[in-house]
Amino acid sequence: MEVKIDASWKEVLTPLFEKAYFKQIVAHLKTEKALKSTIYPKGSLIFNAFNQTPYDQVKVVILGQDPYHNPGQAMGLSFSVPEGVKPPPSLMNIYKELNKDIGMAIPTSGNLTSWANQGVLLINAALTVRADEPGSHAKIGWMQFTDDVIKILSKEKSRLVFLLWGNFAGQKQILIDHSKHKILRAAHPSPLSAHNGFFGCKHFSATNEYLVQHNKNPINWTP
């Protein structure tokens, strides 16, 4: 698997690409390709989160679990879908909370590239998935890779905001140094759980308040 990745991340991640788990990921994806399995997102977008948000510009991390597993949705950015694709239910709930929190009009576009370009790392814990099979690549090595990414960000950077939504993402807080970063936890924005604490969490205004306090530009949350 040829990895096209932003130069600032390449230096950071090259040691991870040498690890046994990453070689296992590559071997697994090659096997799936040989079997003609459909994998999302397409190869050029697997590392899209890293390409859209250079390492030296990361300010906020929003952790998802899995890429979208339906056709035309996954684009390598957690919760985001390409222009022209209807925003999925979880993203619509994110927009509803943004509307309540900061008064942002609910957009029709589900493309969050503008967030990524402002320093919001939109990363899923697994960077690939087999079509129509959520969680199908959760155990091929991606979890170790993205855990290591979170550890590197926690150790090497300071004053980042980590948005951890749902039980799965919440478990990742043990990887983060609480003394030098802001961790915001809430229920997942899925329709199954958004009413259990995602709505009303005010994470977006809290994120911007923290960034401003530490002399960083706030995020313009309009996609």
- Just list the catalytic residues: 66
Residue that the structure tokens 């906020």 belong to? 60
Task: Check if the beta carbon of residue 212 is closer than 8 Å to that of residue 186.
Answer: no
- The residue with tokens 């510009």 is 57
DSSP 190: S
- Distance of alpha carbon 34 from its chain centroid, rounded? 28
Dihedral angle over CA of 43, 63, 111, 157, nearest 10: -90
Q: Which tokens go with 100?
A: 């309540």
C-alpha–C-alpha distance, residues 189 and 14, integer Å: 33
- Give the Cα separation of 120 and 114 in Å (integer): 9
Give Cβ neighbours of residue 46 (< 8 Å, ≥ 6 apart): 76, 127, 128
Alpha helices, H only, the chain: 7-17, 20-34, 48-52, 89-102, 113-117, 142-156, 166-170, 203-213
Angle between helices 89-102 and 203-213 (to 10 degrees): 60
